[in-house]
Amino acid sequence: MIGVFDSGYGGLTIFKYIEESLPDYDYIYLGDNARAPYGDHSQEIIYQYTKQAVDYLFAQGCDLIILACNTASAMALRKIQQKYLPKYYPGKKVLGVIRPLAEAVGQISNSSIIAVMGTNSTVESGTYINEFADISKSIKVVQQACPLLVPIIEESREDHPETELILKGYIEPLKKQNPDIVVLGCTHYGFLEGKIKKQFGKQTQVLNSGEVVAQKLSEYLEKHSILVKKSSDRKRVFLTSNSSEKFDKAAQKFLGRTIKSQTINF
């Protein structure tokens, strides 16, 4: 079974493409909506929250967990991979979303100007700058923290007039840098992908994080097929730490089907 974890709804933008690309697995999606957004918390708090989610998903039978959350990937993934898993879950795997996106950009161009839109924590961590530096020293990274976007999405206010103005305020400084590629450094931002593309214009490529992560996961599972077994049941479980009714409404909007989630307490 594969677990997909996010601080809220944003990971659904990743799960949608993973499910389409790899339908023959059982999945549990967990959104920690009650404590979203993660981007305003300290590194230690983000690590503790992520660790709780990892514990919960492994207890439900997951063999592999995708941190479909840029903030958790930036602030907690390395510590979980290097210290927590070897001690408590040897043989289990937790993967993030930042490295796959960096690799995808490197395959497009190794001398581009890359604009990264992310949460405060992701931008301040410098994780994207470090990952791109590993890919190519010729890549220039410009970043913009967008702290208001996650609350807008969590409250389903994507189509409100003020959202366009808020986006413009974040995007204009990046446009002045003439970026070749834009990376949405928070999975929540996938809900605003169309609006973001429109504001940047056709000359700038906005990377689809869901497609990239799904492709990289497919390649990973081809190399590690023994890690997760395929399932004829194709079980789908959706969990939230907040209102299931609110979660279901957001999930239906993006997944295009009715789901019934369960509310859990850590």
- Token output for 224: 């590690």
Would the CA dihedral through 210, 167, 171, 129 be positive or negative? Answer: negative
Q: How far apart are CA 263 and CA 266, in angstroms?
A: 10
Class for the domain spanning 98-208: alpha beta
Of 46, 29, 2, 3, give the one whose Cα is nearest residue 238.
Answer: 29
pLDDT recorded at residue 247: 93
Asked whether the whole model's pTM tops 0.85, one would answer yes
Amino acid at 148: L
Among all residues, which ones are annotated catalytic?
A: 69, 186
pLDDT recorded at residue 260: 95
Q: How far apart are CA 153 and CA 113, in angstroms?
A: 27
Q: How far apart are CA 69 and CA 136, in angstroms?
A: 24
Kindly state the helix (H) or strand (E) to which residue 29 belongs, with its residue range: strand 27-31
pLDDT recorded at residue 253: 83
236-240 and 27-31 as β-strands: parallel, antiparallel, unpaired? parallel
The strand ranges marked E within 196-255 are 205-206, 236-240
Class for the domain spanning 2-96+211-263: alpha beta
* 8 A C-beta contact, residue 55 and residue 3: no
pLDDT recorded at residue 111: 76
* 8 A C-beta contact, residue 200 and residue 175: yes
pLDDT recorded at residue 155: 86
Helices (H), 2-42: 12-21
Q: How far apart are CA 44 and CA 70, in angstroms?
A: 15
pLDDT recorded at residue 235: 96
User: Which portions of the chain are predicted below pLDDT 50?
Assistant: none
Query: Residues spanned by CATH 3.40.50.1860 within the chain?
Result: 2-96+211-263, 98-208
pLDDT recorded at residue 112: 86
Nearby residues of 179 by Cβ (< 8 Å), 6 or more positions away: 112, 113, 114, 115, 142, 200, 204
pLDDT recorded at residue 154: 86
* 8 A C-beta contact, residue 59 and residue 266: no
Q: How far apart are CA 135 and CA 139, in angstroms?
A: 8
User: If you search the block for the tokens 């996650």, which residue do you land on?
Assistant: 150
Number of C-beta neighbours around residue 125 at 10 A: 20
